[in-house]
Amino acid sequence: MVLDHCRAYALSFPQDDDYIKVCEHEHDARCDRCELLPTVFREIQKVVGSVDCSAEERNEMEYEISQGIQSIQSWKAHLLRAINQDAARHEVLENLDTQSVFIVMDWAMKFLPRKFHESQSDWFEKRGIPWHVSVAMKRNANDETEMLTFVHAFETCNQDSSTVLSIVDDVFGQLKEIMPEVNSVYLRDDNAGCYHCASTLLSVFQLATKHEIELKRFDFSDPQGGKGSCDCKAATIKCHMRIHLNSGHDIETASQMRTAIESSGGIASVSVTVSSPQPTTKSTPVKWEGISFINNIAYTNKGLHVWRAYGIGSGKFLPWSNFCRQGGGPFLSSTNVKRVPVLKFLSRLSKPSDKQSEDRF
Ligand SMILES: [Zn+2]
Ligand SMILES: [Zn+2]
């Protein structure tokens, strides 16, 4: 095995046995293509050393080159982590059944209020409408993947843990209403701080329990890698809103945003909830050392099993007693909670075996 090709080696964390995956092969093979990159780096550095220029110019070039090399290397590392974290998503999708749901969550890019007749001056001083997208997936009896999307639009809100928890609470509640048979959920999102913090990762288990659902896993994707289903759905929704706008309506508030999404019969299997400003809940911060390195969590009633990288090493078990658990929990203050009358999961248009479409989730 070529060292550069070994995911286990690259993602093992040598300082901690719990996060090391021991390879059963030798790293003694060579790969011409992998050796090209360091060779190119060396060549460029050599050429810069012999260019006829002032010392200042040379310094500047050397700096630019070293920055470039660093960027290329971190891009390589990102690709590797993204592919490895994606394996978690594939495994969850493969193990889904008719009673388990996989939910990918993300804040969509704030929607900039738009008027149908918009003057230049309207365009300035705009405050975007924050909206959050949760895409839920499950398998039906025919083993096809079905999807359902929950949109939460806010007049104003802090995109923090307490808002995220209120959204999750609402999503679990809606899920239970739509499919009472749901018994387990898997969550996934990017590395944004509102998800990747002790209060979210601990309270979310209690929220699931409250709705009589078992939270199985919480996996993070490497930033910008693997939350494609939310981006994809957000694009569809924006497209639908644009049609509404172009037919002479304004979209300046979260309520108008919902009207736009629900216009012309709405979008199949998309639910929209509009929330009034969230009360600022002051929760005592929970201490969880090293949480920023954790990217995969499996939950049990006894505690959490955590890993730095998916499938690398035995991981660590953290009993619930390690944490001072918070009581209560934030709840979504929704205004005019009006649901689409017959909201149900809908089959994706493409076949589940279609590799390309699978990659969009
Ligand atoms: Zn190896
Ligand atoms: Zn190679």
Burial of 246 (0-12, 13-18, 19+ CB in 10 A): exposed
Contact 253, 332 (CB under 8 A): no
Kindly give the distance from the C-alpha atom of residue 150 to the centroid of ligand 1, in angstroms, as a whole number.
41
Q: Ligand 2 centroid vs 29 CA: distance in angstroms?
A: 10
* Nearest CA among 248, 259, 244 for reference residue 153: 259
Whole-number pLDDT of residue 265: 87
Per-residue pLDDT at 221 exceeds 80: yes
CA distance 42 to 70: 13
For residue 4, give the ligand nearest its CA.
Answer: 2
Distance from the CA of 7 to the center of ligand 1, in angstroms?
A: 7
What single-letter amino acid sits at 61? M
Query: What are the CA-CA distances from residue 93 to residues 78, 187, 292 (Å)?
Result: 22, 11, 25
Give the tens place of pLDDT for each residue, 288-311: 888 999 999 999 999 999 999 999
Which listed ligand is nearest to 5 at the C-alpha?
2
The owner of tokens 């990762």 is 201
Burial profile 142-176: b = 16 or more Cβ within 10 angstroms, e = fewer: eeebbbbbbbbbbbebeebbbbbbbbbbbbbebbe
Ligand index nearest the alpha carbon of residue 76:
2
- pLDDT score, position 225: 60
- 10-55 pLDDT tens trace: 999 999 999 999 999 999 999 999 899 999 999 998 998 888 889 8
The answer on pLDDT for 286 being more than 50 is yes
Query: 33 C-alpha vs ligand 2 centroid, how far in Å?
Result: 5
The Å distance, Cα 253 to ligand 1 centre, comes to 53
In the chain, the domains with their CATH numbers are 3-83 (no CATH), 96-288+323-358 (3.30.420)
**Whether the predicted pLDDT of 348 surpasses 60:** no
d(CA 123, CA 334): 28
| pLDDT, tens only, 126-138 | 678 889 999 999 9
Q: Which residues surround ligand 2, an ion (CB under 5 A)?
A: 31, 33-34
The pLDDT tens digits of the residues spanning 235-246 come to: 899 999 999 988
Q: Residues within 5 Å of ion ligand 1 by Cβ?
A: 6, 8-9, 23
Taking residues 159-170, what's their average pLDDT? 89
What's the mean pLDDT in 307-324? 91
Average of pLDDT values for 203-229?
Answer: 86
Q: Which ligand is nearest to the CA of 1?
A: 1
The bound ligand whose nearest atom lies closest to the alpha carbon of 6 is 1
How far apart are the CA of 22 and the centre of ligand 1, in A? 7
Mean pLDDT, residues 75-87 = 89
Distance 38 CA to ligand 2 centre (A): 12
For residue 34, the ligand closest to its alpha carbon is: 2
Question: 311 or 222: whose pLDDT is higher?
Answer: 311
Kindly give the distance from the C-alpha atom of residue 327 to the centroid of ligand 2, in angstroms, as a whole number: 51
